[in-house]
Amino acid sequence: MAIIEVNGVRKTYAGRDVVDGVSFSVDQGEIFGILGPNGAGKTTTVECVEGLRTPDAGTVRVAGLDPIADHDRVTQLLGAQLQESELQAKLTVREALELYTAFYPAPADWRPLADRLGLADRLTTRFAQLSGGQKQRLFIALALIGNPKVVVLDELTTGLDPRARRDTWQLIEEIRDGGVTVLLVTHLMEEAQRLCDRIAVIDRGKVVALDTPAGLIRRSTGSTVVSFVPSRTPTGPELDRLAALPGVASVTPPDPAGVLVLHATDDTVTPLISLLAELGVTARRLRITETSLDEAFLDLTGQDA
Amino acid sequence: MNREPTLTRAPETTAPARRRSPMAAVLLTETRLFLREPGSLFWILAFPTVLLVILGFIPTFKEADDNLGGRRVIDLYVPVSVLLAMIMAGLQAMPPVLSAYRERGILRRMSTTPVRPSALLTAQITLHGAAALGSALLVVAVGRVGYGVALPGQLAGYALALLLSVAAVLTLGATICALSRTTKAATAVGSVAYLAMMFTAGVWVPVQAMPDTLRRIVQLTPFGAASQALDQAASGHWPSWAYLGVVALWTVLLGLVAGRLFRWQ
């Protein structure tokens, strides 16, 4: 069942379409990723979901409600962690939790929440004194304090060290296991690949792909990369025969180090080995690897690494 | 971070009852934060009284002056110090706080909760107004006890003038915030307005001692008029409706400008 529905949303600033007809729907209990390069319109899109911005065209529904017209009811169902937002510098963790508890009609108990998020020993620390990771964990706690059905997390792990980032990923999985739907904005492939059930790739204000992480990788051209050092340099016609193998997207002739690269699929590998045997070429240092989501993403957004 | 089912929706019966209203919680929190700003507390609550006490050490200020209708300079400096408290609160202390709340995304974060971010601004404006009034009472009390300055003769009129003046300075502060893009700008514009208001309130030269033309102009400014109204009430008369009207008009105008131009993000 879809809990978030975004339909043909458009948002224009100074004559530029920042969001240009974005549509997707998020099922209940999903971790749904919005992935895209900086400035692609990811944040503007989720701000429309959070009710912080009014779309110029299109509709947004959260549990069937309009985030602008039904602002009060949507804010009770949706918890948000915003990119680059702070709290009052001298507010302590405990005061922040108590304050936000008072905002909601049926709040969660903040004490176990603080325990879970590793904030129990920071309750008397002022916001300005918290580390980056602690601030983010506090924002997760505040996003969850109203017992929401949906949380929106925007660039949650930006600026965290790898350790804190992995801890945060685990937390997000726990949030979902608790029955909360997660809408996750990120520009990190590893994060999207690790966490998301489905991903909408947004580029220049448009959804360019919407699939599972594995699906995105599969659909990108040449998802399997085969590389080897041939025992002798193949001739032109031989390279053509390589390119004609099933599933081959591209053949890169040997570089100065002698490495030949094929972007292909799993189906290419067996015929390739037969062909090499037929040609009397030995494949040294043969490597067969899967394209990462990184490469799939660059492929989809037409960006250079 | 062990796995516990705490992130699931708590049954309604075990959810803690809402102990206080959101607005009361915001006001309580912002009061705590206000009390954690020793600088603001000093300039609003202590400085006007300290200034009055220091001026009282000057012997000639405690002698009746024929140019002032037989009153002493110290008598005039009580209403001036009262206005100073308001200017400190509304123009020095408040604009940077409100702008920082916008600049740091605190208002935006609150927009995603069921409570409107205007609650935060309302709490801050209320607190600065209350601090200004508290400081004003302290000035009047110290003037009475320390230097025998008569308590306001027309108490109701004085209270009305006082409340109008606080409203004017708070809306001016809010307007500065609305017009300033950044906290830095709000502080800078606030300081300029602060000097102008100090002058028109008569902090350096009491309005009564200004040359005629200058005095007429100054009496059309919110604090020139407020200073005159407070002075009249202090000396036992109902403050002139013209002065009260000038202060009220400024309050309404500035309130409209601030409300219309304030950007929430």
Contact call for B101 and A84, based on CB within 8 A: no
Torsion of CA A124, A128, A130, A132, to 10 degrees: 160
Model's pTM, two decimal places?
A: 0.81
A107: nearest CB among B3, B16, B111: B16
Residues of B in contact with A84 (CB under 8 A): 105
Q: Chain B residues with CB-CB distance to A under 8 A?
A: 1-10, 12, 15-16, 18-22, 24-26, 29, 32-33, 36-37, 101, 104-106, 108-109, 111-115, 265
* C-beta of residue A215 within 8 angstroms of C-beta of residue A293: no
Whether residue B130 contacts residue B188, with contact meaning beta carbons closer than 8 Å, is answered with: no
Could you tell me if B154 and B238 are in contact, meaning their C-beta atoms sit under 8 angstroms apart? yes
Q: Determine the structural domain holding residue B156 and report its residue range.
A: 16-261
Quick one: which H or E segment has residue B65? Answer: strand B64-65
- φ, ψ for residue A286 (rounded to 5)? -70, 130
In this complex, do B1 and A171 lie within 8 Å of one another by their Cβ atoms?
yes
In this prediction, residue A220 carries a pLDDT of 66
SS3 B72: strand
**Does residue B207 form part of some domain?**
yes
Tell me the three state secondary structure of residue B70.
Answer: coil
Task: Give contacts of B3 with chain A, Cβ < 8 Å.
Answer: 174, 177
Q: Inter-chain contact B106–A87, Cβ cutoff 8 Å? A: yes
Q: Which of B6, B19, B26 sits opposite A108 (nearest CB)?
A: B6
Q: Is residue B5 part of a domain?
A: no
Q: Which backbone phi and psi does A122 adopt, to 5 degrees?
A: -120, 15
Q: Which amino acid is at B130?
A: A
Residue B36 lies in a domain: yes
Contacts with B20 from chain A: Cβ below 8 Å: 102
**Do B15 and A174 make contact, defined as CB atoms within 8 angstroms?**
no
Q: Does residue B7 form part of some domain?
A: no
The pLDDT score that the predictor gives to residue B36 is: 95
User: Given pLDDT bands bounded at 50, 70 and 90, which one contains residue A221?
Assistant: low
β-strand pairing of A198-203 with A31-35: parallel
Q: According to the model, what pLDDT value does residue A255 have? A: 85
Tell me the chain A residues in contact with residue B37 when contact means C-beta distances shorter than 8 Å: 90
Quote the number of domains for chain B.
1
Query: Residue B109 and residue A171: Cβ atoms within 8 Å?
Result: no
Q: At what angle do helices A93-101 and A132-144 cross, to 10 degrees?
A: 20
Q: What is the least distance, in Å, from the CA of B181 to any CA of chain A?
A: 17
pLDDT at B8 over 90: no
Q: In chain B, whose CA is at the least distance from the CA of A81?
A: B109
Q: Does B156 reside within a domain?
A: yes
In angstroms, the CA B126 to CA B139 distance is 20
Of A85, A170, A180, the CB nearest to B108: A85
Phi, psi for A15 (deg, rounded to 5): 80, 0
How much is the ipTM here?
A: 0.82
With respect to residue B6, please indicate whether it lies within any of the assigned structural domains: no
| 3-state per-residue secondary structure call for chain A | CEEEEEEEEEEEECCEEEEEEEEEEEECCCEEEEECCCCCCHHHHHHHHHCCCCCCEEEEEECCECCCCCHHHHHHHEEEECCCCCCCCCCEHHHHHHHHHCCCCCCCCHHHHHHHCCCHHHCCCEHHHCCHHHHHHHHHHHHHCCCCCEEEEECCCCCCCHHHHHHHHHHHHHHHHCCCEEEEEECCHHHHHHHCCEEEEEECCEEEEEECHHHHHHHCCCCEEEEEEECCCCCHHHHHHHHCCCCCCEEECCCCCCCEEEEECHHHHHHHHHHHHHHCCCEEEEEEEECCHHHHHHHHHCCCC
Do the Cβ atoms of A109 and B114 come within 8 Å?
A: no
Asked if residue B133 is part of any domain, the answer here is: yes
Asked if pLDDT for residue B12 goes beyond 70, the answer is no
Kindly state the percentage of chain B with pLDDT values over 90.
52
| B130 within domain boundaries | yes
pLDDT at B4 over 60: no
Inter-chain contact A88–B5, Cβ cutoff 8 Å? Answer: no
Query: What pLDDT is stored for residue A200 in this prediction?
Result: 94
Cα–Cα distance for residue pair B229/B242, rounded to 1 Å: 9
What is the nearest CA distance from A34 to chain B, expressed in angstroms? 19
Query: How does pLDDT run across A73-111, given as a tens digit for each residue?
Result: 999 999 999 988 899 999 999 999 999 999 999 999 999
Tell me the chain B residues in contact with residue A166 when contact means C-beta distances shorter than 8 Å. none
How does residue A14 score in pLDDT terms, banded at 50, 70 and 90?
confident
- B56: distance to nearest CA of chain A, Å? 37
Listed range (A168-182, B53-67, B241-255) with the worst mean pLDDT:
B53-67
